Amino acid sequence: MSTFIIAEIGINHNGDINLAKKLIDGAVFAGADAVKFQKRTIDKVYTPEELDVPRQSPWGTTNREQKYGLEFGKTEFDEIDSYCRQKGIEWYASAWDLESQLFLRQYDCHYNKVASAMLTHRKLLEAIAEEKKHTFISSGMSTLEQVEKAVEIFKKAGCSYELMHCNSSYPMPEDQANLRMIEVLRERFGCDVGYSGHEVGLVVSVAAVALGATSLERHITLDRSMYGSDQAASVEIMGFYRLVRYIRSVEKALGVPEKIIYPVEEKVRGKLRRIDTL
């Protein structure tokens, strides 16, 4: 089965629709299956006190100005929807509040995403599950018991889902990847399990696929030195291009759980095997 590869644009567009389109182009060039964005209703996700905290950014001097500067509205998402259709790539978004999830329903996206930060938001999960779109559920910052409660919501709604092993550090140290959890989640919940990575580099992500990850999500950027909290944990376009090719090579190399003597081995055996008494 081919790994479903997601280029997460998230908020790496820095509030600029033209930059978002360049990132979509980069994802298409790299061979990703989908791009993912984020959607927030700022005054629902953050308290007034959080928004009033001083913060220097390209948009002003408060956290409020930064958050609103990064947020796309209907005009931008209409353009994203049209542009992705034109480019032939799937798109969807992770909502951080119920209002944002309802906003996203106006688009014919084929997938949903539960961000790790939202895994314990019951009403949001119920709203997502009732749409019955295949949903990627990230498990960062969560206990197995919390993951189980989230899974129960999707099972009860009859909504297709896929867990994603995740460590929510940005960037994530390689020694905290704990990729063996992919197998643990798969065995405990009896479902497909992907990997949402925030590490620097490509090796951990490729290893996740070798361990059976059915989907792979990494942030994509034009330049890791750009402004933004996610940029340092992102992959630049040529790196994403290599990542996709490494993953497709690993898929071919994994083969099937069956001992095969290939035709070329038959020829080699005729030349090299001298004693055959078994």
Quick check: is 96 in a domain?
Answer: yes
Torsion angles phi and psi, residue 18, rounded to 5: -65, -35
What are the pLDDT digits (tens) for 202-259? 999 999 999 999 999 999 999 999 999 999 999 999 999 999 999 999 999 999 999 9
| CATH number of the domain within which 247 lies | 3.20.20.70
Helix then strand then coil, in percent of the chain rounded to 5, is 45, 20, 35
What's the predicted TM-score (pTM) here? 0.95
Integer Cα distance of 72 and 25 in angstroms:
18
Torsion angles phi and psi, residue 38, rounded to 5: -125, 150
pLDDT the model gives residue 1 = 78
What are the pLDDT digits (tens) for 34-47? 999 999 999 999 99
Quick check: is 278 in a domain?
Answer: no
pLDDT band at 276 (very low <50, low <70, confident <90, very high): confident
The helix-helix angle for 144-157 and 122-130 (nearest 10°) equals: 30
Quick check: is 277 in a domain?
Answer: no
Quick check: is 176 in a domain?
Answer: yes
End-to-end CA distance of the chain, in Å? 36
What are the pLDDT digits (tens) for 161-199? 999 999 999 999 999 999 999 999 999 999 999 999 999
Number of domains in the chain: 1
Quick check: is 177 in a domain?
Answer: yes
What is the domain extent for residue 147?
4-272
Quick check: is 84 in a domain?
Answer: yes
What are the pLDDT digits (tens) for 95-142? 999 999 999 999 999 999 999 999 999 999 999 999 999 999 999 999
Quick check: is 213 in a domain?
Answer: yes
Torsion angles phi and psi, residue 3, rounded to 5: -65, 130
pLDDT band at 91 (very low <50, low <70, confident <90, very high): very high
Quick check: is 202 in a domain?
Answer: yes
- Residue 37, token pair as written in the block: 């964005």
> Helix, strand or coil for residue 198?
coil
